């Protein structure tokens, strides 16, 4: 037995490409036997006649058997098998050595001269496999050395999946099966070496398992492996805890396990993990529910806080002071306006603090009213507070209301204040306005009474005036009658004397009687005209309407005036316009007006002519009868005056023209009675035109 020597530098460069290919191949291979076959094939790829064999320990029997071999017959392979305690067996010897052994001489059952046996596995750990190669010397070829160093451990690690190994025997297995929680021994990647029944249910699907169950266990394995892999990245020496969500493959429900993994070293030196899974599904749910509750509690608290905040803001936004007191009367909360009245500030002056105290005392005694009054839900009252800043009195109205709990117990008192300064000021102003209005009313009443009195007086005066007017009219009527009776006799006897009833008169007598006669007639004329005006004013001039023709009326007028016309040197003519219709009016009055106008014209015209013209204005259904003279004319200033009573242009006592001065005044009044009027156009020194306008059909007044 020659101990292996240090590896000489190989003459050829290591075939890196081939090694990478093998490594890839092995990484993709899960099956130990295939892997072993690959390896032996790879090792003999350059010298196909070389012998290569791979031995592993059978987990069932503990016997080392040939897993893969090259250039060995079945018999030769079988001969290589050995028991570890078979010390005479060269391979057992090599295994015991724990290092590569070169057998130069032929030694049964080795198939040929020049063999080297290499134990495979992690350094320091029991060998997991044995590689037998034909060799020229104790030195391993570079490839063999590479394989033993790198591939060996991997192959060794793969072996346990080949078959479940019950470490410690059936008893141990039964013991761990009784554990209610899943228990597993796994390699670092999470591949189970040992699993109790509970763990198997989760992670292993039997050959006859349903597709769903197979998938579930597959999924669980992946999850579990990745959980363990994350352990492996850290310090492996300590116990690790981790929560792993798995699926119950039977029930299909989600489960949550707490995995407690403890790293252990297997007898073969491999690192493994013992994992105990504790079902914390219910605990997880409880935790989740607790978290939810907590979150809700937080929300509620936050809401309550914001609610409180909002309440504060609402209260502060109320301009009236509000105070919340506890049942004993202590202040719990107040809004901004209340703070100004009741709350002290560190920098408050002495006077301010005194006023604040006074306010608090007032408030306390006010609250006492409510607290003393059993059963009353609220108390309303007046409070004399003081403005702490200025000391001005603040008349307040306050309403304190009890706040009752669910069972009717007193939990607090809310007090609202209302500043009554403004209201009182308004009331005061209102009072003054009322006072003023009462005064005003009294004055109005007095004025009204006075007015009524004056009205009554006026009414009486009007009646008196009316009565006086009527009396005057009656008086004038009587007077004129009384005037005329003697005048009748005067004129009558004068007339008789002039006619020679009492004998012939001498010229002197005749002349004097004629003067009596003419003066008497003038007097009569005056009296008649006064009587006319009186009657018109008294409303006692009747309107006698009838149909009549204008031509006949003009003829009559001309005939009546003929004696006067004959005496004058004037050219007097009457003209009738085209289509002058018959009219319906008061003939007597129309005639009287025309007579008067013509008489005036004759009186005030010394030479020239006087024309009477009648026209019909169809557009207005109006008749016009105008009298145009070439007389003295009338100054515009006097044109209105001459229509007034007793007025002539010359009103001096010695006026040149006779007449009463009542003629035009009467004409105007009579025209008005007919619904018409009398107009005047005149130029002084050239003549005048007086025109009577009256409707073709008069209306009875």
Partner 1 sequence: MMNPSETPKPLVLVVDDYQDAREMYAEYLEFSGFRVAEAKNGQEALDKAFELRPDIILMDLSLPIMDGWEATRRLKGDDRTRAIPVVALTGHAMTGQSDEAKGAGCDSFVTKPCLPDALVDEVRRVLATHGGASAR
Q: Do the beta carbons of residue 250 and residue 276 sit within 8 Å?
A: no
Q: Does 488 bind partner 1 (CB under 8 A)?
A: yes
Q: Does 499 bind partner 1 (CB under 8 A)?
A: yes
Q: Which is nearer to partner 1, 462 or 496 (CB)?
A: 496
Task: List helix spans (H) across 275-349.
Answer: 281-317, 336-342
Q: Which is nearer to partner 1, 25 or 535 (CB)?
A: 535
The single residue among 225, 275, 335, 480 that binds partner 1, judged by CB under 8 A, is: 480
Q: Does 161 bind partner 1 (CB under 8 A)?
A: no
Q: Does 454 bind partner 1 (CB under 8 A)?
A: no
The single residue among 368, 471, 496, 582 that binds partner 1, judged by CB under 8 A, is: 496
Q: Which is nearer to partner 1, 119 or 663 (CB)?
A: 663
Could you tell me which residues come within 8 angstroms of residue 86 by beta carbon, excluding any fewer than 6 positions away?
92
What beta strand segments (E) does 41-111 contain?
52-57, 64-70, 101-103
- CB of residue 479 vs partner 1: minimum separation in angstroms? 12
Q: Does 535 bind partner 1 (CB under 8 A)?
A: yes
By C-alpha distance, which of 119, 115, 123 is closest to 148? 119
With CB under 8 A as the contact rule, which of the stretches 5-13, 487-495, 672-680, 693-701 interacts with partner 1?
A: 487-495
- CB of residue 514 vs partner 1: minimum separation in angstroms? 14
Angle, in degrees to the nearest 10, between helices 663-673 and 507-537: 40
- The widest CA-to-CA distance across the chain, in whole angstroms, is 232
What beta strand segments (E) does 64-135 contain?
64-70, 101-103, 115-120, 129-134
CA–CA distance, 529 with 484 (Å, rounded to integer): 13
By C-alpha distance, which of 267, 241, 247, 141 is closest to 201? 247
With CB under 8 A as the contact rule, which of the stretches 172-180, 432-440, 523-531, 672-680 interacts with partner 1?
A: 523-531
Q: Does 479 bind partner 1 (CB under 8 A)?
A: no
The single residue among 3, 436, 492, 608 that binds partner 1, judged by CB under 8 A, is: 492
The single residue among 53, 195, 531, 627 that binds partner 1, judged by CB under 8 A, is: 531
CA-only gyration radius of the chain, Å:
78
With CB under 8 A as the contact rule, which of the stretches 37-45, 214-222, 491-499, 684-692 interacts with partner 1?
A: 491-499
Stated as kind and residue range, the H or E segment containing 524 is: helix 507-537
Q: What are phi and psi of 248, to 5 degrees?
A: -75, 110
Q: Which is nearer to partner 1, 158 or 531 (CB)?
A: 531
Q: Does 660 bind partner 1 (CB under 8 A)?
A: no
Q: What are phi and psi of 124, to 5 degrees?
A: 85, -10
Q: Does 697 bind partner 1 (CB under 8 A)?
A: no
Binding-site size, partner 1 (CB under 8 A): 22
For 451-485, b/e burial (b = at least 16 CB within 10 A) is eeeeeeeeeeeeeeeeeeeeeebeebbeebeebbe
Q: Does 670 bind partner 1 (CB under 8 A)?
A: no
Q: Site residues for partner 1, window 399-428 (CB under 8 A)?
A: none
Q: Which is nearer to partner 1, 209 or 536 (CB)?
A: 536
Q: Do the beta carbons of residue 555 and residue 576 sit within 8 Å?
A: no
Q: Site residues for partner 1, window 542-581 (CB under 8 A)?
A: 542
With CB under 8 A as the contact rule, which of the stretches 107-115, 312-320, 409-417, 534-542 interacts with partner 1?
A: 534-542
- CB of residue 598 vs partner 1: minimum separation in angstroms? 22
Q: Site residues for partner 1, window 605-624 (CB under 8 A)?
A: none
**Residues comprising the chain, all counted:** 701
Q: Which is nearer to partner 1, 93 or 556 (CB)?
A: 556
Q: Does 481 bind partner 1 (CB under 8 A)?
A: yes
Q: Does 524 bind partner 1 (CB under 8 A)?
A: yes
Q: Does 487 bind partner 1 (CB under 8 A)?
A: yes
By C-alpha distance, which of 285, 229, 266 is closest to 153? 266
Residues β-bridged to residue 584: 547, 697
Cα distances from 416 to residues 87, 244, 338, 372, 571, in angstroms, run 108, 62, 9, 19, 111
By C-alpha distance, which of 657, 695, 660 is closest to 676? 695
By C-alpha distance, which of 83, 92, 81 is closest to 119? 92
Q: Does 484 bind partner 1 (CB under 8 A)?
A: yes
Q: Does 519 bind partner 1 (CB under 8 A)?
A: no
The single residue among 459, 540, 575, 677 that binds partner 1, judged by CB under 8 A, is: 540
Q: Does 495 bind partner 1 (CB under 8 A)?
A: yes
Q: Which residues make up the interface to partner 1 (CB under 8 A)?
A: 477, 480-481, 484-489, 491-493, 495-496, 499, 501, 524, 528, 531, 535, 540, 542
């Amino acid at each position: 037995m020659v101990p292996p020597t240090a590896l000489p530098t190989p003459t050829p460069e290591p075939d890196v490409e081939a090694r990478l290919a093998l490594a890839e191949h092995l990484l993709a291979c899960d099956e130990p036997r295939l892997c072993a076959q690959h390896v032996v094939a790879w090792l003999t790829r350059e010298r196909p006649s070389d012998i290569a064999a791979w031995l592993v320990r059978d987990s069932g029997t503990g016997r080392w058997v040939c897993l893969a071999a090259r250039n060995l017959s079945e018999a030769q392979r079988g001969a290589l098998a050995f028991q570890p305690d078979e010390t005479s067996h060269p391979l057992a010897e090599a295994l015991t050595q724990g290092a590569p052994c070169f057998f130069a001489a032929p030694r049964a059952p080795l198939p040929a001269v020049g063999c080297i046996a290499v134990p495979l596995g992690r350094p320091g750990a029991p060998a997991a496999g044995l590689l037998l190669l034909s060799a020229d010397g104790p030195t391993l070829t570079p490839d063999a050395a590479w394989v033993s160093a790198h591939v060996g451990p991997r192959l060794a690690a793969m072996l346990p999946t080949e078959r479940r190994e019950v470490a410690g025997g059936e008893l141990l297995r039964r013991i761990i099966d009784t554990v209610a929680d899943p228990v597993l021994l796994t390699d670092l990647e999470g591949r189970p070496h040992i699993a109790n029944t509970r763990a198997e249910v989760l992670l292993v699907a039997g050959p006859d398992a349903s597709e769903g169950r197979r998938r579930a266990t597959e999924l669980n394995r992946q999850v579990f492996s990745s959980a363990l892999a994350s352990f492996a990245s850290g310090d492996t020496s300590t116990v690790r805890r981790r929560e792993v969500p798995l699926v119950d493959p039977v029930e299909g429900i989600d489960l949550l396990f707490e995995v407690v993994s403890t790293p252990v070293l297997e007898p073969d030196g491999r690192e493994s993990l013992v994992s105990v899974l504790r079902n914390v599904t219910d605990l997880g749910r409880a935790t989740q529910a607790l978290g939810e509750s907590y979150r809700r509690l937080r929300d509620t608290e936050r809401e309550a806080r914001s609610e409180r905040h909002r309440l504060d803001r609402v209260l502060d936004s109320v301009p009236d002071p509000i105070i919340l007191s506890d049942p004993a009367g202590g202040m719990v909360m107040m809004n901004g306006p209340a703070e100004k009245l009741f709350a002290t500030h560190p920098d408050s002056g002495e006077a301010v603090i005194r006023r604040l105290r006074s306010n608090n005392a007032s408030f306390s005694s006010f609250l006492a009213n409510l607290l003393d009054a059993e059963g009353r839900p609220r108390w309303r009252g007046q409070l004399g507070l003081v403005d702490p800043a200025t000391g001005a009195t603040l008349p307040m109205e306050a309403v304190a209301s009890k706040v009752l709990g669910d069972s009717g117990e007193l939990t607090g008192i809310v007090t609202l204040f209302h500043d009554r300064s403004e209201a009182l000021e308004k009331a005061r102003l209102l009072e003054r306005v009322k006072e003023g209005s009462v005064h005003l009313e009294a004055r109005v009443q007095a004025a009204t009474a006075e007015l009524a009195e004056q009205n009554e007086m006026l009414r009486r005066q009007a009646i008196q005036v009316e009565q006086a007017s009527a009396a005057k009219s009656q008086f004038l009527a009587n007077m004129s009658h009384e005037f005329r009776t003697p005048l009748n006799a005067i004129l009558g006897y004068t007339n008789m004397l002039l006619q020679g009833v009492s004998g012939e008169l001498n010229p002197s007598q005749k002349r004097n009687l004629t003067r009596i006669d003419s003066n008497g007639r003038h007097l009569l004329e005056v009296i008649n005209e006064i009587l006319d005006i009186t009657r018109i004013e008294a409303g006692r001039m009747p309107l006698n309407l009838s149909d009549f023709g204008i031509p006949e009326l003009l003829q009559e007028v001309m005939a009546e005036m003929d004696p006067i016309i004959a005496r004058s040197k004037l050219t007097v003519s009457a003209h009738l316009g085209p289509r002058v219709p018959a009219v319906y009016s008061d003939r007597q009055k129309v005639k009287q007006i025309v007579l008067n106008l013509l008489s005036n014209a004759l009186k005030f015209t010394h030479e020239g002519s006087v024309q009477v013209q009648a026209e019909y204005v169809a557009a207005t259904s109006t008749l016009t009868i105008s009298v145009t003279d070439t007389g003295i004319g009338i100054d515009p200033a006097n044109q209105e005056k001459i229509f007034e009573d007793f007025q002539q242009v010359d009103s001096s006592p010695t006026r040149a023209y006779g007449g009463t001065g009542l003629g035009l005044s009467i004409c105007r009044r009579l025209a008005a009675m007919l619904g018409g009027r009398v107009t005047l156009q005149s130029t002084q020194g050239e003549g005048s035109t007086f025109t009577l306008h009256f409707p073709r059909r008069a209306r009875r007044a």
